[in-house]
Structure 1
Amino acid sequence: MLNGTMEHVVKHSILCSYVLSQPLVTYVDAYPELQNKILMETEQLEFGEHGESIKLLQKKLNKLEYFDSEVDGEYGVLTAHALKNFQADYNITINGQADEQTIQALIDTEKDIYLKQIQSLSTEVYPGLTGENVETVQNALQYFGYYKGNIDGIYGPLTKEALITASNEHDGIELAEAPAVKVTVQNKVESEALKAQASNAGEKENAKEEKEEEKKQVVVEGINGGSIVAQAHSFVGVPYVWGGTTPAGFDCSGFIQYVFNMQGIETPRTVSDMWNFATPVDSKSVGDLVFFETYKPGPSHMGIYIGDGKFIHAGESRGVEITNLDNEYWKERYIGSKRVMQ
């Protein structure tokens, strides 16, 4: 059996051979690492030629900021001028030709840029994170052919798998784990418990009962809320499947039920049952449920509030993802928040 790295290389070699054998294939549509192989195995490009290979050459020169004209596939004066400028900067014979040495230098320079992006950001991104850093990493991973998903800025299972592959093939790439949820309310609970113990004997039993109820409430709103959100984050990128209740694929209510069950909390299966099961709240807290009216009257979609005006949910188009409550679509359909009480 091939290991992951060898399998990756074999797949690339086979695919490259296939692409080169197809006279009408659009090389520009191939992923960048395959484009590199195509350029290196193509006969030397000459001034006056035109075609897909010239487009690949122009795209690389454009990426490195040597070519700012239209990528038209024409090896003319502008392309030759860009090549001469590149050759001058990298101590290559200045002839404006796309010879093997120049092509290899272009590829090495571009590859180094993307590799440095992965190396510098790999410890800054982690499962569940969203944003520009994740998008940059995904784009760089896609360049090498490691990442096959959408460039969406969401660190899900595909991004993690791609980073693992990259770390096996390149030095300087370290994977970060999602930061632990800070439990700040526990100290408050313990402090209150000590105060209760210091109360007089006549009130001790009542104080204990009140404190148990307070502790239970704080756990639901704080500790469990953070744990639930952390658990939910780990499934970002899992695809949407109608009726799905496992990490192989979730629908919106199946996702919620699975996350809560992982925390030892049993909940109903459907959105409407969850709406009736949970307790209404005036102000949302981390771990609360947010409900929406979408394709039919009444609650028909839900997610978990994660703070900062955002919620995590299993959406039909992109699977488990993080969305802003101010998003026009969801803002218009929001009908309330509720809390699961133990």
Structure 2
Amino acid sequence: MLNGTMEHVVKQSVLYSYVLSQPFAFYVSAYPIHQNKQLLEADQLQYGEHGESVRVLQHKLNKLSYYDDEINGDFTVLTEHALKKFQADNNITINGQADIKTLTTIINKEKQKYMAQINEMSESIYPGMQSKDVKIAQHALQYFGYYEGEIDGIYGPLTKKALKIAEDKHGLELIDESEQVTESSLTALYEKDEENEQNIEQKAKQEVKEKTQETKKAEVTSANFSGAIDAAYAQIGTPYVWGGESPGGFDCSGFIQYIFQTQNIVMPRTVSDAWNFTQHVDSPSVGNLVFFETYKPGPSHMGIYIGDGKFIHAGESRGVEISKLSTSYWDQRYLGARRVK
């Protein structure tokens, strides 16, 4: 038989897994602290994105009176506008993006709103009591996932159980000898949890720092391949020749091999071998190779990424040319970007 605290821990774990698999209608009514975790793990949200994290963001902005449109998980100009208003009011760089600073500020503002409710408590609450003060306490306990019942304003077994779990987890005395709960004890619950919140925020910030370092490394890599890009530009207009690997005519892999040879980098001759020779990157940087599945399963065409969503390659119809990744033909066949080691 599980004791109360252990039973709650198990429920929390199961609930969190269930929440992530359920429609948003369930998720927005889940515990704010779980929503906070989802947002911080999202790291950054921006225009054009969609999904559960965007829905949670819209929900929180709505609760803070910045967003009053449909909560649909689509990051449109309306969500961007709401973020800009929030950023302006909170002295954050106004970019309309939900970066880590903006996300943590949103979370803290929501927490302050919950804490402000506690200050409205007019008296202590006690078992059997039914009042708006009990509702305030239930909302506070629900914020952390300790209260799992209906917000009904009744200090019954579920409210008492939630208080006991919170006491055990945080080492606090929320209930006095007469089983009453005061405003100051509930405020202490929020203050005690600050350390946990800060740990989550610091972890998220560290992840952002690591990603920034990876980006800088990619920028250095791009600079190192500037010579290859120049060499590729010089071959624009060269006709396509099956098996070609010289300025007289190229096929796609012959073109890549030739360009990198000008930089004293030895590349495999075939597309599939080039795929295996290179290293995966999440998104292309200048000088990376972009791969496509065209006439056969697996990587069968490639080019050199030159930035701004464009790449140079030896195409069958027009020879060496610049194409956009976003065109329907290439977008449907895109396999990913890889970096020359």
TM-score normalized with structure 1 length = 0.44
